[in-house]
Each structure stands twice: as C-alpha cells, then as structure tokens.
C-alpha cells in the first residue's frame, strides 16, 4: 500500500533507467565492443553507441548490425545478443553512475511520500544488479525490467505493471524518461510525462511529445507541480 503523499504531489512517479536516472552509455559501449572484437568486427565509438541505445539488448545489437550492413545475419545477431547479455550482467554497474541531481530528487520525492518505480527495457536481472550496486534499489517500490512476459516499451504493459506494483493508477502517476519508447509507453498507459534532455534519444527531445521537458533534475519538482 502506498502511503498518502503530501498535497500537490503525485501518488507515484515511474522512471526509466538508462539515459534517465543513470549514465550507462560507457558500459554499454564497452560490452558491445568486446563482443564485436570477438567477431573480428571493428569497434564503434561511444557517441555512435549512444544512438543505438533504447529498446533493450537485442534491439541494440540489431541496430549495430544495421550500421554494419549485416541486418540479415541472424546467426551473428544471436551470438552478439547472447554475448552482450552475459557480459553485461557479469559487469554489473561498472562505470555507470546516476546523473547529476538524481539522488537529490529521489530523496525529495521519498520525503514527500511519493511511491517510485523503475520501468526499463534493460533485462530484469541486469537491472536489479545495477540498482543494487549503485545503492539505488532502496528508493523503489517496484522495478520492472525486460522479461518474456511483458511487451517492451513503447507498449504500455511494463508501465502498467510498474504502477500495479506501486498500488497506483495511471491518472495518479507521472513517467520520467528520455526516449520515444518511454514517452510512447506512458501515453499509451494514460500517464503524464516528463522527458529529460540529457538522455540517449536520437529524436530531438522536444519532438518526443512529452508534456514537459527538463534539462536537469533540479527542474523536476517544478515540472511535477505543473502536471498536478
């Protein structure tokens, strides 16, 4: 059961993870490039990998193969996807870290009685390990990562599952994310949206259709207030 929030605050806020709460692009690029090296394929630079993040590990690999001109190489796709998932889970948090202001925002929301959840296309096991190692798990009442049982964002299912775990309904919630998948999933679920401009989207963030865009987490409390 979610405790009653302070007046003016939503009952629940759902966060995306990569590109929203944490900067994990370096780890994702490192692991992908190790897998490519094993296939005798040249590495991508980190800014290029950033353009391929979003949608989960398999989508990352699919986008890499498109850039390599090997879109239809199913055997390579399976090897890279398997290798990436295994190595990324073993790595844990690596050099990933929360974005500036993230911890302060989480503490503020917790103090106001807002229930918080994670909804990410990152595989569930990897998500749990990263949150544990970054000491972030303690803030969240529900964590939903990629699983065979739920369609990935931008389908609304993962957002709705997160809200169910928090005991909140879509009208009582706000989603904070950085990508079209996040904003699309939230809108499909009937949830108001805030997009961060410092994430990994290749689409201009102000074209994602979010209700509000913020450039730093210190802007989040005012943005949340505007949506209530």
How would you class 109 by CB atoms within 10 Å of its CB: exposed for 0-12, middle for 13-18, buried for 19 or more? buried
Reference 158, options 134, 132, 194, 122; nearest CA is: 122
Reference 199, options 225, 212, 220, 180; nearest CA is: 180
From 16, 23, 178, 182, the catalytic residue: 16
d(CA 73, CA 65): 8
Helical ranges in the chain per DSSP H: 25-38, 46-50, 57-68, 74-91, 102-111, 124-133, 157-166, 180-189, 220-227
How far apart are the two ends of the chain, measured CA to CA in Å? 21
Tokens of 74: 């199913």
Let me know if 182 is a catalytic residue: no
Catalytic center residues? 16
């Amino acid at each position: 059961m979610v405790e009653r929030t302070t007046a003016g605050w939503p009952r629940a806020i759902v966060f995306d993870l990569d590109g929203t709460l944490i900067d994990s692009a370096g780890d994702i690029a490192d692991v992908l490039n190790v897998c490519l090296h094993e296939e005798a394929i040249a590495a991508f630079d980190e800014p290029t990998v950033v353009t391929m993040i979003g949608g989960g590990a398999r989508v990352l690999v699919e986008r890499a193969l498109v850039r390599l001109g090997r879109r239809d190489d199913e055997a390579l796709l399976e090897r890279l996807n398997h290798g990436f998932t295994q190595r990324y889970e073993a790595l844990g948090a690596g050099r990933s870290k929360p974005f500036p202001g993230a911890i302060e925002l989480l503490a503020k929301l917790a103090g106001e009685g807002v229930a918080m959840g994670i909804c990410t296309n990152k595989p569930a096991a990897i998500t749990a390990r990263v949150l544990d190692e970054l000491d972030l798990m303690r803030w969240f009442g529900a964590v939903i990562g990629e699983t065979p049982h739920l369609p990935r964002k931008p389908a609304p299912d993962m957002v709705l599952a997160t809200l169910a775990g928090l005991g909140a309904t879509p009208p009582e919630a706000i989603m904070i994310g950085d990508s079209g998948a996040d904003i699309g999933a939230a809108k499909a679920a009937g949830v108001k949206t805030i997009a961060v401009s410092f994430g990994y989207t290749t689409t201009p963030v102000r074209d994602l259709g979010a209700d509000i865009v913020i450039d730093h987490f210190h802007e989040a409390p005012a943005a949340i207030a505007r949506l209530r």
